[in-house]
Amino acid sequence: MTDVIVVGSGIAGLTAALHAAERGCHVTVVTKGALADTNTRWAQGGIAAVTATDDTVASHVADTVTAGVGLNDSAAVQTLVSEGPDRIAELVRRGVAFDRAADGDFARGLEAAHARPRVLHAGGDATGAAIQAALGAAVRSAGIEMREHTTVRDLMVAGGRVVGVEVETDGVRRRLTADAVILATGGAGQLYSHTTNPVSATGDGIAAALRAGAAVADLEFVQFHPTALAIGDTFLVSEAVRGDGATLIDDDGRRFAFDAHPDGELAPRDVVARANARAMAAQGGRPVRLDATGLGAERLARRFPTIDAAVRARGLDWSREPIPVTPAAHYLMGGVVTDLDGRTTVPGLYAVGETARTGVHGANRLASNSLLEGAVFGARAGEAAATDTAWPRVEAPAAIALPLVPAAADAPAFSRARLQELMWRHAGLVRHDAGLRHAVGILAAWVADARPRSAEDAGLLLLSQHVVAAALARTDSIGAHFRSDDGDPAVASLPATEALAC
């Protein structure tokens, strides 16, 4: 029997686990928190797929490629979109109750850069939570072994092949051997001081893959969501709210998004995020505001119950007044290079979901394609792990070497908060050469400092070096990677914690 270890328990990991188990594998899911402590659980907007009779694969493909500015891998996009409907049917079979319209058909939301409403949702804006609950129940009833609160310290590599993982539970280390290891640890929003991601999103899988010698790519492409609540802890306000008609206004009450793009608030996410940043810069860094008053209290509470509760918990009534919003780090388009079945460049090692880089998103991910990515490529990787008998060559873009810059002599002592602030300021929404080079020097100083740090922090530090190197290497602006070497005002516009700045 094939032994498969899946690291991570969001939609990509649990889908991979279920498919491998249904193919007769012995599957163990390892996750550093509780089963449901995932990025998936926080997904609000929904899952994009072609499910309407008047929608087409060609249209969803075109929207995905337009958002990705054509840098997408076309086979990956075709796979994502054409297999989407089957994965939606699978989720329904596993118990996800997507919201329905009065005629019983799926209710479909509109989100930015989609040509038509095609985003399925559940519980209004609790889509991720509904998927997490259904898949969690499915893995438990499939008898899949679960190791919760267990951290993967490293991948075990022997003879150029991944042969298991070294894990730690309650301070006790163990080695778990496997025929295949599937990394599904999500993204790395915790690289930044402002993120919509939970604290668990520390890029552990990408860092472990890097240490095992796997190829990575596209790490310069970090997506910043345009609308996180700018009051209290960072909290996502779904794109679906703008899809429903909410607008963005500045201090003068002016809608500014049309200055940046003819689609205004429904332009691709990177465009709207930068438009927000520039409007903030023009008004002294104060957040812009999302005006959802036209939707009415009843609709806001029914369609967006999670956001409604978060907004009200901050003492705001968004049915009566616009709410302050700001961009925040949201999604990593780059990651561990894989083929369309999740195989990485290291035999025995697979990666899926936000951890992976299939090339499907190009330079910028289309809204609500991420849950779909987890479902489609998770299923494919689970199948491949169960059936692979040989390891085909996996092509990877040319590797980007870490720049050889001397360690900064004046670097402050390392802390997670300082790392996040450094990345926010110099490798965030807008980058420039001098800032990136400054970041390289500080990161080098922190790496050279041999004081012990947590596995998560070591991984974040390693990943930061690769993100900054990739951002330095791509000197043009495209999609989510925006260079402004002549001093775009948006560079200085976003909130930063002055005391920590470096």
Between 98 and 331, whose beta carbon lies closer to ligand SIN? Answer: 331
Among positions 44, 64, 193, 197, the unique one binding ligand SIN when judged by CB under 6 A: 44
- Of the pair 235, 482, the CB lying nearest ligand SIN is at 235
Q: What is the 3-state secondary structure (H, E, C) of 146-187?
A: EECCEEEEEEEEECCEEEEEEEEECCEEEEEECCEEEECCCC
* Catalytic residue list contains 431: no
- Distance in Å from the first CA to the final CA of the chain: 52
Which residue number, 230 or 240, has a Cβ lying nearer to ligand SIN?
240
Closest by CA to 431, choosing from 383, 487, 376, 386, is 487
CB of 94 to ligand SIN, least distance (A): 21
Q: At what angle do helices 455-473 and 433-448 cross, to 10 degrees?
A: 150
Contact status, residue 380 vs residue 342, Cβ threshold 8 Å: yes
CB of 226 to ligand SIN, least distance (A): 9
Which residues have CB under 8 Å from 258's CB, separation 6+?
264
The secondary structure of residue 481, as a DSSP letter, is B
CB closer to ligand SIN out of 180 and 273: 273
| Minimum CB distance to ligand SIN, residue 447 (Å) | 31
Encoded amino acid at 242, one letter: R
Pick 13 or 45: Cβ nearer ligand SIN? 45
Q: Which phi and psi (to 5°) does residue 33 adopt? A: -115, -150
**Which range, of 34-42, 43-51, 100-108, 305-313, touches ligand SIN by CB under 6 A?**
43-51
Task: State which residue, 126 or 471, has the beta carbon closest to ligand SIN.
Answer: 126
Q: 333 to each of 224, 301, 394, how far by Cα in Å?
A: 11, 32, 19
Only segment of 22-30, 284-292, 367-375, 424-432 that touches ligand SIN (CB under 6 A)? 367-375
In this chain, which stretch among 54-62, 75-83, 232-240, 271-279 interacts with ligand SIN, using CB under 6 A?
232-240
Residue 124 binds to ligand SIN (criterion: CB under 6 A):
no
- Residue number, 132 or 151, with CB nearest to ligand SIN: 132
- Which DSSP symbol is given to 483? B
CA distance 267 to 2: 46
Residue among 28, 195, 238, 493 that touches ligand SIN (CB under 6 A): 238
Residue from 8, 10, 13, 45 touching ligand SIN (CB under 6 A): that is 45
Return the residues of window 239-278 that contact ligand SIN according to CB under 6 A. 239-240
Where in 408-447 is the site for ligand SIN (CB under 6 A)? none
Q: Find where tokens 């802890």 sit.
A: 233
Site string for ligand SIN, 326-355 (x = CB under 6 A): -----x------------------------
**Which region, judged by CB under 6 A, interacts with ligand SIN, from 31-39, 89-97, 281-289, 365-373?**
365-373
Count of H-run helices and E-run strands, the chain:
14, 19
Q: Specify the stretch interacting with ligand SIN by CB under 6 A; choose among 165-173, 362-370, 417-425, 481-489.
A: 362-370
Closest separation in Å from C-beta 20 to ligand SIN: 26
- Write out the binding residues for ligand SIN, residues 156-195 only, by CB under 6 A: none
CB 350 to ligand SIN: min, Å: 23
Among 367, 386, 394, 444, binds ligand SIN (CB under 6 A): 367
Instruction: Name which of 343, 336, 327 is nearest 382 in CA terms.
Output: 343
Tokens of 298: 């009843």
Q: Which is nearer to ligand SIN, 322 or 347 (CB)?
A: 322
Residue 52 CA neighbour count, 13 Å, CB half: 18
Rg (the chain; Cα; Å): 21
Measured from the CB of residue 366, what is the shortest distance to ligand SIN in angstroms? 8
- Give min distance, CB of 108 to ligand SIN, in A: 14
Reduced to 3 states (helix: H, G, I; strand: E, B; else coil), residue 48 is strand
Residues sharing a CB contact under 8 Å with residue 335, sequence separation 6 or more, in sequence order: 187, 206, 216, 217, 218, 219, 351, 354, 355, 356, 357
From candidates 326, 370, 464, 493, binder to ligand SIN by CB under 6 A: 370
Catalytic one among 87, 108, 242, 269?
A: 269
- Check if the beta carbon of residue 7 is closer than 8 Å to that of residue 371: no
Q: Rounded to whole angstroms, how far apart are CA atoms 225 and 235? A: 11
Tokens 């899809």, residue?
Answer: 243
Q: Report in angstroms how near the CB of residue 298 gets to ligand SIN at its nearest.
A: 21
- The residues of the shown chain that bind ligand SIN, judged by CB under 6 A, are 43-45, 238-240, 331, 367-368, 370
Q: Which residues are catalytic?
A: 269
